[in-house]
Amino acid sequence: QLETLEQEEQEYLKLRPHPTKKKTLIVSHEQEMTVTKTLQEGEAEPQSVCYSQAKLQGLLLEGAGLLLLRVLARRQTMPPSLVFPAIDSEGNLCTSSY
């Protein structure tokens, strides 16, 4: 019964003449989860998306996915059709299957 309360992810690309900074912040509240994405090439406004907790039941974020893969590799077993809700690189709700 693990639950993600908050996750932050940052990428920085140094390109001339405009460096690019990408930041994703995921915060869990009582009834919803907020995903705030910021892509900064000059002055960009952050985009925010809210999902209800019911839609995200069993959400598997990147860090949890890596941990799950390590546990499955260690056990040398793979349960049939593992499918979890996930959030893609654009901040949209999708599924992750193993």
- List, in order, residues 6 or more apart from 27 with CB less than 8 Å away: 5, 6, 33, 34, 36
| Residues 2-53 pLDDT 10s | 677 888 888 888 877 777 787 888 888 888 888 887 777 766 666 777 778 7
Q: Which residues pair with 7 in a beta bridge?
A: 26
Task: Write down the pTM of the prediction.
Answer: 0.59
pLDDT at residue number 44: 64
Q: Which residues pair with 70 in a beta bridge?
A: none
CB 22 within 8 A of CB 41: no
85 belongs to a structural domain = yes
1 belongs to a structural domain = no
Query: Could you give the number of structural domains in the chain?
Result: 1
Burial 56-80 (b: 16+ CB within 10 A, else e): beebbbeebeeebeeeeeeeeeeee
55 belongs to a structural domain = yes
Bigger pLDDT: 29 or 98? 29
| Residues 45-74 pLDDT 10s | 667 777 787 777 777 777 777 888 888 889
73 belongs to a structural domain = yes
User: For residue 65, what are the domain limits?
Assistant: 6-97
pLDDT at residue number 46: 66
